[in-house]
Structure 1
């Protein structure tokens, strides 16, 4: 008798897991409460994998020996509660796929910066001719890669939702970029639960493994004091000199790992802003640990062009810069974006608020923002927070309208910044869709 695996959710991680599970001899059912995209249906059909959409066949699902839950499905979904009540293990794609590869795993999590750090590290390892796969919360499904390719190393971007389903997963090198309140709606509005989820990346590490983290982040350092991990600690900081790990002094980055020192001028980093200096430090610390040539590390950090939808320069029209930061789905990410603006800014903000506290943004809005365009189904909270701070605050319901208004309001030398600080699901499919709509609207001006 084949073991039965049920995959909840027919998206990228679900379909990838189904392919790997089938290859490993499981009888597989993919079940999606909503609609499965045509492209994914075709893949499932080509692989002869049974799928259903528009609801769950509970009786069939409860016959499973293991369930992989896609990261977007909350634990409080009725079907998940039912599965757990029957004592069936519920795991994540990352947990499942890691069981079937001998590759070295590098896992990257954090509230912000994880996509940039993952992409930068992946690029760096590719420049060093490593046989590397970049997967997880970014690009291709990790499980599908494990099923179809043999890699020496995987660089995995991992969200807290993916870490929730971790049992034995233990990356050889883990990075926590930072931890700020985000997705609190999924963690009963308890910040502690969200922090604990992030630290699951290091929970199974051994003394032979490494944890790289931001030593300037009090949330991380406090947690580590109270909940020590077994792995070797490699902190990075832009404010304090460190014996091991990475630090910044007189605009020079110093990295010390296992008696191996790397140095580089921060000026030469392709990605600007303090947060990107930290992302570069985290990626370079891994590269230094892996003994990659110092010249390759420097060239990669000088040449990396950044990530789509993350402070992406779109166009300059009438000497106004249009910047797409659609990936800023929380307040902290928008804080970085506003902090990096060096001229008056028309700020497009809004979407589904995940329990945001906007007070951190007050000083930056007062200093840098000349007009606010709210782009969401419900903008009440934004209006009450920022209504008295700027002369112009306007509500819109579509990206085209928002960009047209921004075009009218902006003057020579200004920036127009899309940095929503919110999730996108009220008006858009996801943050990529939102970013692409912004870019198209700008190009159509």
Structure 2
């Protein structure tokens, strides 16, 4: 059996290692350059590879192709593979049959990284032998090849779910759905929503789907479609006989005749959206039979996720916050919503079809100045130009942070929450966040 892998990054190389171990003839093809450390791994493992090209003769003889999630379906090579009837799948689909571990799969437009990290923290603190992978950390396939985890918590993007056919998590979580990545879904929101719900398509009566019952897109989908999985909702506004909710400043979780409660004041994460992430993660922990005392302790000591509302420093009584992971409007909505002081907002980057009007009421209420950090800021300026008193354009992070310092007074906040992808001025959102933190430390 010949396995061809498109993309020589973390998921590609991980799949190559698992494929080789399982007896496939493996070939890795990357249209860009393969990083040195990954190249070394391929060479050590005797895996054939090429870079900066796709040699069709070496690709079209595949029995199965694993496509890295960053490669769009409309790429010519992928279109040709589909025309030839060669299966094109994701790393998750390829790897899952090779493990008997319990899989928790977490997707959503926002909150999925925090929910994934918190869930992993809860299970690991309880002594479970649990791996963390998918869209973050080490490749899922690589972990299956190397380690023997009894369970995995996987963060799953819509791109990864597009490439699944038989994959089925025992516990699926959909944190929320809002328009994102529409450039990859023919600018059709329904296509994107359907991609997220692929997480539950193979689930049975023995499996669980946890979801945000306050989310319009999720509720509408569940009204029109069915899943065999047992539904467990969580909400900030409703209460349930079975599900998770907030009542009198307490988080209450009722699952299978058991009740768990905890004061929200004792939960380390702040903000309404993080209460939802905590409810989702705690519901998973309850389903996995984790002790209540362990859950309470883990919720109170969780450190949060880098680049997500990360408090960097307070300088001259001005708080600098790194929310570089906010790559869409909905994520920035959560960030602005949790600001309690006058805010200088650093925004901009590669726009993926954003509607900034959703932020209008928050900007009027909380934002005193906007710093545009992107190659093309026209849309942001058009929407907010008449709403804030001060609007500045900069083309590097150091200028953005220095300008932020100039525009603030004691008690203010400087918030980097770009609402956009980072690929115009930065390598990725991590690079953008790290440059912000460095610039703050140099003030």
Name the residue aligned to 2:204. 206
Give yes or no for the alignment of 1:156 onto 2:154: yes
Deviation at 1:350, TM superposition (A): 0.4
Name the residue aligned to 2:38. 40
Q: Residue 247 of structure 1 aligns to a residue in which SS?
A: strand
Distance 1:161 1:394 in 2: 35
Distance 1:435 1:42 in 2: 28
Match of residue 57, structure 1, among 35, 51, 55:
55
Name the residue aligned to 2:272. 274
Name the residue aligned to 1:66. 64
The residue correspondences of 1:65-84 to structure 2 (distance < 5 A) are 65-84=63-82
Match of residue 362, structure 1, among 354, 360, 363:
360
Name the residue aligned to 2:104. 106
Name the residue aligned to 1:136. 134
Q: Residue 199 of structure 2 aligns to a residue in which SS?
A: coil
Match of residue 181, structure 1, among 176, 179, 182:
179
Give yes or no for the alignment of 1:29 onto 2:50: no
Distance 2:335 2:259 in 1: 31
Deviation at 1:263, TM superposition (A): 0.7
Distance 1:194 1:24 in 2: 33
Q: What is the CA deviation profile of residues 160-181 of structure 1, one whole-angstrom value per residue up to 9, with x for unaligned ones?
A: 0000000000000000000000
Distance 2:75 2:87 in 1: 15
Q: What is the CA deviation profile of residues 376-434 of structure 1, one whole-angstrom value per residue up to 9, with x for unaligned ones?
A: 11111011011111111111111111111111111111100000000001111111111
Name the residue aligned to 1:123. 121
Distance 1:377 1:305 in 2: 33
Q: What is the CA deviation profile of residues 256-279 of structure 1, one whole-angstrom value per residue up to 9, with x for unaligned ones?
A: 111111111111110010100000
- Consecutive unaligned residues of structure 2, counting only runs of 5 or more, are none
Q: Residue 179 of structure 1 aligns to a residue in which SS?
A: coil
Distance 1:48 1:386 in 2: 55
Name the residue aligned to 2:85. 87
Distance 2:164 2:48 in 1: 26
Q: Which runs of 4+ in 1 moved over 2 A?
A: none
Distance 1:379 1:26 in 2: 48
The TM-score with structure 1 as length reference comes to 0.99
Relative to structure 2, which stretch is displaced further, 321-330 or 388-397? 388-397
Matched residue count? 443
Distance 2:397 2:315 in 1: 17
Match of residue 197, structure 1, among 195, 220, 235:
195
Distance 2:37 2:408 in 1: 40
Distance 2:419 2:131 in 1: 30
Name the residue aligned to 1:331. 329
Deviation at 1:254, TM superposition (A): 1.0
Q: Residue 227 of structure 2 aligns to a residue in which SS?
A: coil
The residue correspondences of 1:340-351 to structure 2 (distance < 5 A) are 340-351=338-349
Distance 2:166 2:222 in 1: 20
Q: Residue 376 of structure 2 aligns to a residue in which SS?
A: coil
Distance 1:208 1:432 in 2: 38
Relative to structure 2, which stretch is displaced further, 384-393 or 329-338? 384-393
Q: Residue 129 of structure 1 aligns to a residue in which SS?
A: coil
Distance 1:11 1:76 in 2: 20
Give yes or no for the alignment of 1:386 onto 2:384: yes
Q: Residue 200 of structure 2 aligns to a residue in which SS?
A: coil
- Consecutive unaligned residues of structure 1, counting only runs of 5 or more, are none
Name the residue aligned to 2:318. 320
